Structure 1
Amino acid sequence: MLFTVSQRFFFDAAHTLKREIEAEGSRRIHGHTYHAEVSLSGPRDPVTGMVIDLGLLRQALGELRERLDHHMLDEVPDLGPPTLENLCLFIAQALPDLGPPLRRVRVWRDAVGDACTLELQP
């Protein structure tokens, strides 16, 4: 049996973005509240009953959140242009190996209804 466990976090950050549509507002510094969810999949350990201790996942996400929360995303090393796609990839690459493989990263902004999901193959 394969189980998938998930943990969410959020961060507030500012950025600019060069776009062809809605260009004027995007090029000015502006901010969003971003939400992110990471999912890991694996078998349940028969001794602990867990795929992963969620405390370990929360700790890793807390460290990652510190790199993004209340920062100018344009200046975050290794992020690239601060698109939802690049945020998904950045989160996936920034997480340490926690044991069970990372299967999914989702980043969204509730206020405007935008979302992106990175699906990682087994």
Structure 2
Amino acid sequence: MQFTVHQRFFFDAAHTLQREIEAAGSRRIHGHTYHAEVAVRGPRDPATGMVIDLGHLRARLQEMRERLDHHLLDEVPGLGTPTLENLCLFIARALSDLQPAPSQVRVWRDAMGDACTLDLSPGA
């Protein structure tokens, strides 16, 4: 049996973006409230009854939040261009040492209706 455990966090951050459409507003520094969800998939440990201790996952997500919250995303080392896709990848890479490693990372902006999901499952 495989279980998938999810944990969410949010952060407020600013960025700029060079793009062809909606260019003027995107090039200026502007901000969003971002939401992120990390999923971890695996068997339930018979000794603990858990796939992962959510306390450990929450602690790591708090570290991630501190790296992103109230920052200019253009300046976050290792992020690259501050797109939803790169945010998903950045979070996944930062948490890749978890056991089990994330199986999915989702980042979205409710106010904009935008979302991106990175599926890290085998065969995805």
TM-score scaled by structure 2?
A: 0.96
Q: 1:63 & 1:53 partners in 2: Cα distance?
A: 16
Greater Cα shift, 30-39 or 41-50? 41-50
1:96 to partner: Cα distance: 4.8
Alignment of 1:3-22 (within 5 A): 3-22=3-22
Map of 1:102 onto structure 2: 102
Please give the alpha-carbon distance, in whole angstroms, between the structure 2 residues aligned to 1:115 and 1:35.
Answer: 9
Task: Identify the residue that residue 27 of structure 2 maps to in structure 1.
Answer: 27
Which amino acid letter does the alignment assign opposite residue 51 of structure 1? V
Aligned residue pairs, count: 122
The residue aligned with 2:79 is 79
Counterpart CA distance in 1 for 2:67 and 2:41 is 25
- 2:60 counterpart letter in structure 1: A
Alignment partners' CA distance in 2, 1:28 and 1:53: 41
Amino acid paired to 1:35? H
Cα separation, 2, equivalents of 1:56 and 1:96: 14
Contact persistence 1:44–1:51 (CA under 8 A): yes
Residue 121 of structure 1: how far off its partner (Å): 2.6
Q: What percentage of residue pairs aligned between the two structures are identical?
A: 79
For the aligned residues, what is the CA RMSD? 0.8
Q: Give the Cα separation in 2 of the matches to 1:57 and 1:80.
A: 24
The amino acid that maps onto 1:59 is A
1:3 and 1:41 in contact (8 A); partners too: yes
State the partner residue of 1:39: 39
TM (norm. structure 1) is 0.98
CA contact (8 A) 1:60 1:96 kept: no
CA deviation after TM superposition for structure 1 residue 100, in Å:
1.2
Counterpart of 1:91, as a letter, is: I
Following TM superposition, the consecutive aligned residue runs of length 4 or more in structure 1 with deviations greater than 4 angstroms are none
The code of the aligned residue for 1:5 comes to V
Match of 2:68 in 1: 68
CA contact (8 A) 1:42 1:101 kept: no
- Matched to 1:28, the amino acid is R
CA contact (8 A) 2:95 2:101 kept: no
- Find the residue that maps to 1:81 and give its secondary structure: coil
